[in-house]
Amino acid sequence: MKAVRIHAFGGPEVLRLEDVARPEPAADELLIQVVASGVNPVDWVVREGGNDALRAYLRLPMTLGWDAAGVVVAMGSAVTGFEIGDAVYGEPNFPGDGSYAEYCAAKASQFAHKPASLSFLEAAGVPLAGLTAWTALFEHGRLQLGQRVLIQGASGGVGSFAVQFAKAKGAYVIGTASAGNLDYLRQLGADEVLDYRSPQVEEMVRDVDVVLEASPVRDNVARVKALTALKAGGIFVSVNTDFPFDEAVQAALAQQHVTGVLSANQPRQAWLQEIAQLIDAGQVKVFISQVFPLAQVADAHRESQTWHVRGKLILQVHADDDLA
Ligand SMILES: NC(=O)c1ccc[n+]([C@@H]2O[C@H](COP(=O)([O-])OP(=O)(O)OC[C@H]3O[C@@H](n4cnc5c(N)ncnc54)[C@H](OP(=O)(O)O)[C@@H]3O)[C@@H](O)[C@H]2O)c1
């Protein structure tokens, strides 16, 4: 089968489309014929050699990509809940061999049935970013109906889902993005939108229950300013797990009687199922920025590395009508 692998860490030039053996599913795994793979910033972070949190887990050569939509073509003896031919989506094997491949074997628990209302291309953009938003808002942020949330970086892959999930759960959502994306945030359902380049943007928001740092900015001075938006007892959740809170942030958290959490996404099947229900109920939409053929993966990485993608980048691996 064809797969995009790396044999060395580096720039987009280390990505190689090559022939490799098709994987065999273990007892608890599905073998998926991949129709499409999402592209996420972590793909090129791993391509470049990872960060402090990831480096120890990376093995070469490796197949990148941890966002898949496709069809079940085989499964291990212990798998229940899926049939051959099922359309599925999931976050396979992070940070091992992933979804930039014609076939991918991964634990069945990392997949759920694809939302029926989505194409495979759309579905491939959901799992990693969606689960990141879900874990941060609900597992760590404990966001509730009627609460107020500030979402920084609301126009990106994670932020776009976070705005919609928070609205679907009945929260009041304030989102930040660049000026050109403010209408997009309103389209996602944000109640208030702010240009992150406006002066004193932090002072424009008060009394929120949760701040979600879903922007790519890694800056502890900016975090201290953002904490002023929280009410006492509030929660600051950052998805930038590779960038710890420094002493100034720790002191500000204590002084303001708020909590800070670094949130890594969890690939839970139950959450993928709940997300699929919200999508099929029309409460959450998937916004695709661009689709690339698998062979143009390097261009997709270059685009992701701009940090100004609106919605999701997708790699098409198979045509929908080209399935086994
Ligand atoms: N913990 C986890 O499990 C996990 C998983 C996935 C991602 N992440 C992290 O989450 C962050 C977002 O990832 P993503 O996939 O959503 O990225 P993405 O799709 O590339 O989105 C980037 C977004 O960041 C916004 N942005 C750029 N500069 C900004 C700034 N100075 N201030 C505020 N927003 C800014 C951009 O908005 P404009 O175009 O409007 O400027 C863009 O919409 C990244 O730091 C990534 O590493 C963590």
Q: Which two tokens stand for residue 112?
A: 């759920």
The whole-angstrom separation of Cα 160 and Cα 129 is 9
Query: Is the pTM above the cut of 0.95?
Result: yes
Residue 319 confidence class, pLDDT cut points 50, 70, 90: confident
Domain annotation for the chain: domains and CATH numbers: 2-126+286-322 (3.90.180.10), 129-262 (3.40.50.720)
- Which amino acid type is present at position 103? Y
Query: What is the pLDDT, as a whole number, of residue 139?
Result: 98
Q: How far apart are CA 18 and CA 302, in angstroms?
A: 20
Angle of CA points 138, 140, 141, to nearest 5°: 65
Which residue out of 91, 176, 308 has the highest number of ligand 1 atoms within 8 Å of its CB and is therefore the one to mutate?
308
- Residue that is written with structure tokens 């759960």 in the block: 169
pLDDT at 130 over 50: yes
Mean pLDDT calculated for residue range 210-235: 97
Q: Which long-range contacts (CB under 8 A, 24 or more apart) does 156-159 make?
A: 156/129, 156/214, 156/215, 156/216, 156/309, 156/310, 157/38, 157/40, 157/125, 157/128, 157/129, 157/309, 157/311, 157/312, 158/129, 158/132, 158/133, 158/214, 158/239, 159/133, 159/212, 159/214, 159/215
Among protein residues, the one with the nearest Cα to ligand 1's atom 22 is 156
- Mean pLDDT (whole number) for 314-323: 78
Please give the pLDDT value at position 202: 75
Q: Which among 134, 196, 290 is the best mutation to test ligand 1's pocket, defined by most ligand atoms within 8 Å of the CB?
A: 196
pLDDT level of residue 201 (50, 70, 90 thresholds) = confident
Task: Please tell me if the CB atom of residue 215 comes closer than 6 angstroms to any atom of ligand 1.
Answer: yes
Statement: residue 217 has pLDDT above 80: yes
Residue to probe by mutation, ligand 1, list 132, 193, 265, 306, most atoms within 8 Å of CB: 132
How many A from CA of 216 to the centre of ligand 1? 4
Q: Is the CB of 315 under 6 A from ligand 1?
A: no
Our mutation pick for probing the ligand 1 site, out of 42, 193, 239, counting the most ligand atoms within 8 A of Cβ, is 239
Name the percent of the chain lying above pLDDT 90: 95
DSSP for residue 101: B
The DSSP 8-state label assigned to residue 322 in this structure reads G
- Asked if residue 158 has its Cβ within 6 Å of ligand 1, the reply is yes
Residue 98: predicted pLDDT: 97
Beta sheet of 16-19, edge-to-edge order: 16-19, 2-6, 62-63
Q: State if residue 283 touches ligand 1 by the CB under 6 angstroms criterion.
A: no
Residue 129 Cβ < 6 Å to ligand 1: yes
Answer whether residue 200 shows pLDDT above 90.
Answer: no
pLDDT-based confidence at residue 320 (cuts at 50, 70, 90): low
Q: Indicate whether 321 pLDDT > 70.
A: no
Ligand 1 centre to CA of 215 (Å) is: 4
Q: Say what the pLDDT of residue 324 is.
A: 46
